Chains A and B, each alone.
Chain A
């Protein structure tokens, strides 16, 4: 888990998002939302993608980003593009493939 700023967007990199680390990840996302100015991008590099608990955290993050007038971006490996499409994660955040992200 790490954070950096790229092109004005605060980037939070996570290797996984699941029930085992949901609390810690939620806290980290919350902190990042507090620091971000304009855009927060969450990059999830694990090929498994989020589990149900991780999805709940993403939904919560989407809500809080909206309430703070922030744009939420979600970077996922291309292996997860179908899952993202099936779950319509695009309704929660701007979904992009990690491979095309800077």
Chain B
């Protein structure tokens, strides 16, 4: 196949795939509105186009299947058959087979479609009310055979073809007898009439030769579908000739000057069998023997024709098949290598390219001018022009890469239909924002994750009708897919109004699967429990099915979305449903980036992740706590990672900068040596040899011609931040300390070992650490946790400070709530963390429960909860027993002051810092 043929073939596959997508969507819509004329017409046109194009390429199995489907569509269109669920299922199943055939058109014959063909044929039989003769297994059958327009050979009965290659030809058993009797050979010869002429022969001369060495039993002229007079010019028809001759294939090939692969030998035995079985048999194609040039009218005639077909009776429709609508690899490859672009955009690109050429010509002229006076001014002018054109070119090309998400969303109508039938659930799919555009690379990457999410919503989310009714919902569940632009990103949501996710069930399953311990489960908030679904290997499905339950889906979803530069959020409410929110950048091809320097090399950081650039100093010092480096910034400790250390470069003393990077609700600082520039960079993939190296997402060429590697903040953070978390004691550390702008009404709800549920305002909390009892040390009757050589946290039991029940016993693992500096050397003991919650001041009942250290009470998570007054606690701590105060001072770590300018209450200062600054 030459390049031109290859391109045409790819175009055929792409267009046919689009027709199939239209067809599938319309079929599903037709199920909801049977008899809708515009849908029936659209489906008919789609099938007809596929058939015609396949015929042009000679893909007979595709032509045959499409033809019988087209005939049935004709009956439906004319109201002679009715559309019901079975019919739609049959047609969708046929569409699936066509899709598979299109994936490898040359091997289309290997796709089994007997069930579909038999089902469609049965519809036609049922319409005609006449069935003739037994159907030979494995023999290709055709749809209803009409009379020829003129000069036809069709008798009263049209039968099945004795060989697949003969499809489309008209002949009778009698016409074969002579050749069979003399042991002649039967062939189907494919003749490109244009090539005949290139060999210097007229058609008359060529066919004269053909006739001299054998007999033409029939000829089919093939042209592109729906060829019209305006489009006929330049078209070269192909003749398929059913031919009988005494010559052997290789001699025939030489005699006619035709390549051997254009000659198909028809086994004589199969013809003999056929003639023997049907001595008066007749084979004929649809109305005219120019299948690819067949218009719609004769199809109607075919359906209306009283001529019976030789097919067996009582062929049942195939059972609904579960076909994965995801295109197979080959088809996807071919279809995705091309995109359709608005012609206006192409015109704009062409104009811009013209302007670039003008700019280049000016530069060439200038370069050849020998540096005359005034060249510099002209050069600047040319550079400005080229810069402007380049920007426009970039914008236009980026727009060309954007594709509406509707194309992706469209495939879910089929998935929802199939799965709702399979699971016997009533589900309605709502799609919003299908015109929102996204870079095609992102769209491709989004396909699999969205499929997982939608399947999960249907399988796990939406309840069965009876359960929904019992829960006071409508019997029909809703799955909603939406897309919207949001702050320069695209937000895609998959939501359902199903049962939601029960955190307790998720915890139990996670414990059962060994993903978390029972103790960890008891300390998890509801949201944390729901996020367990993103853990590798997690599934609550009781049994693995072909829909879900292997526990790989959500893990893969999260990973794939993050690879696309996006992130996933989950919001699920028991009994109300689940929302999964995906946020993605618009494009990945050209991104704004900060160019930083480290150990002399340049690196690009995607600006989308950058929150702030900080130069460490007195106001925001870099510190080491627990062996982990942190940046103290506006009262928060932010973990930092040294880029040089990450990359294994030796440290060099220099002024450094910290780039604060935001990742999925966590912030960390990346220490770099230099801030060099801001640039829009073109992302180039890394070569094969670098693909497995972590920390890099690609490479780019900077303005000065220097190559810069593009850093992947997620990858850098994954390895390093977890190490810092370990050093600081718990993974919760970062979550708490990095939540930006903590709302003063937000409280942390916990238990301290007694019967009371307690709450403390999160604005006072630095972090929560998990602690093991065996790690504690006793100093002077006080329990301490030694973090490292210079930091010790003293544990405080609330029952010693405020009127709450003392714990009966302390579990082997528990928590400490560490307040923000300067009180970060004490840890309030908690045995269980319930969750965080909003608690506006007005909702705190400051009556009977209020006491020193307790602001009042409130109902949180259905329980009466004592709300701690942190200031009061500090007062108690500072002005309490001499023993407590003494022990703090004795440790040499805290100085109690009464300077109100430092703190509204008592101030605790670290002595080492105090002395260092004084």
Contact = CB atoms under 8 A, between A and B. Distances in A.
Interface residues of A, number: 40
Interface string B209-245: 0110000101111010011111111111101010000
Interface string A48-59: 111111011101
Given A59-B221, A60-B228, A52 B290 contact: no
A62 interface: yes
Nearest to B301: A66
Contacts of A50: 203
A63 interface: yes
A52 B193 contact: yes
Contacts of B230: 26, 30
A86 B256 CA distance: 15
A52 B203 contact: yes
B148 interface: yes
Given A59-B221, A63-B227, A86-B207, A52 B293 contact: no
A37 interface: no
B677 interface: no
B194 interface: yes
Contacts of B228: 60, 63-64
A81 B227 CA distance: 25
Contacts, number: 125
A62 B207 contact: no
A59 B203 contact: no
B844 to A, nearest CB: 81
Contacts of B203: 49-52, 55, 83, 87
Nearest to A22: B233
B237 A56 contact: yes
Contacts of B148: 91
Given A52-B203, A66-B298, A88-B218, A60 B229 contact: yes
Given A51-B202, A67-B297, A27 B229 contact: yes
Contact of B289 (A30, A33, A69, A91): A91
A86 B210 contact: yes
Contacts of B289: 88, 91
Contacts of B207: 82-83, 86-87
Chief secondary structure at chain A's binding surface: helix
Contacts of A95: 150-151
A53 B234 contact: yes
B239 A87 contact: yes
Contacts of B181: none
Contacts of A26: 229-230, 232-233
A90 interface: yes
Contact of B295 (A57, A63, A79, A82): A63
A60 to B, nearest CB: 4
B295 A67 contact: yes
Contacts of B293: 59-60, 62-63
Contacts of B197: 51-52
A55 B231 contact: no
B232 A88 contact: no
B196 interface: yes
B124 interface: no
A33 B232 CA distance: 15
B208 interface: yes
A50 B237 CA distance: 12
Nearest to B216: A86
Given A63-B293, A90-B150, A55 B237 contact: yes
A55 B290 contact: no
B288 interface: yes
B149 interface: yes
Interface in A15-71: 22-23, 26-27, 29-30, 33, 47-53, 55-57, 59-64, 66-67, 69
A80 interface: yes
B778 interface: no
A62 B207 CA distance: 22
B665 interface: no
A66 B302 CA distance: 14
B688 interface: no
A55 B191 CA distance: 14
A30 B229 contact: yes
B194 A91 contact: no
B365 interface: no
A92 interface: yes
Given A49-B204, A83-B204, A60 B239 contact: no
Contacts of B232: 22, 26, 56-57, 59-60
A52 B210 contact: no
B234 A88 contact: no
A59 B233 contact: no
Contacts of A82: 207-208, 211
A56 B197 CA distance: 14
A86 B235 CA distance: 20
Contact of B219 (A53, A63, A86): A86
A85 B407 CA distance: 49
A66 to B, nearest CB: 5
A91 B288 contact: yes
Contact of B236 (A33, A52, A63, A83): A52
A66 B203 CA distance: 26
B295 A88 contact: no
Nearest to A23: B233
A93 to B, nearest CB: 8
B220 A56 contact: no
A59 B227 contact: yes
Nearest to B215: A86
A93 B184 CA distance: 32
A95 B748 CA distance: 93
Contacts of A93: 150
Contact of A60 (B196, B227, B241, B297): B227
Which of A50, A62, A93: most chain B CB closer than 10 A? A62
A48 B204 contact: yes
A52 B226 CA distance: 17
B202 A49 contact: yes
For A22, A47, A63, A87, which residue has the most chain B Cβ atoms within 10 angstroms?
A: A63
A26 to B, nearest CB: 4
Contacts of A86: 207, 210-211, 216, 219, 241
A80 B417 CA distance: 58
Nearest to B231: A60
Nearest to B297: A66
B234 A59 contact: no
Contacts of A33: 229
A49 B232 CA distance: 17
A49 B193 CA distance: 13
B193 A59 contact: no
B233 A57 contact: yes
Contacts of B149: 91
A64 B197 CA distance: 26
B204 A80 contact: yes
Contacts of B241: 86
Given A61-B229, A63-B228, 7 more contacts: A52-B193, A59-B223, A60-B235, A83-B208, A86-B211, A86-B219, A87-B203
- In the A-B complex, list the 10 residue pairs whose CB atoms are closest, starting with the nearest: A52-B193, A60-B232, A90-B151, A56-B235, A88-B219, A30-B229, A86-B207, A91-B289, A26-B229, A56-B232
24 contacts: A22-B233, A26-B230, A27-B229, A49-B202, A52-B203, A52-B237, A53-B235, A56-B233, A57-B229, A59-B290, A61-B229, A63-B226, A63-B228, A64-B228, A64-B229, A67-B295, A82-B211, A83-B203, A86-B216, A87-B203, A87-B239, A91-B289, A92-B288, A95-B151
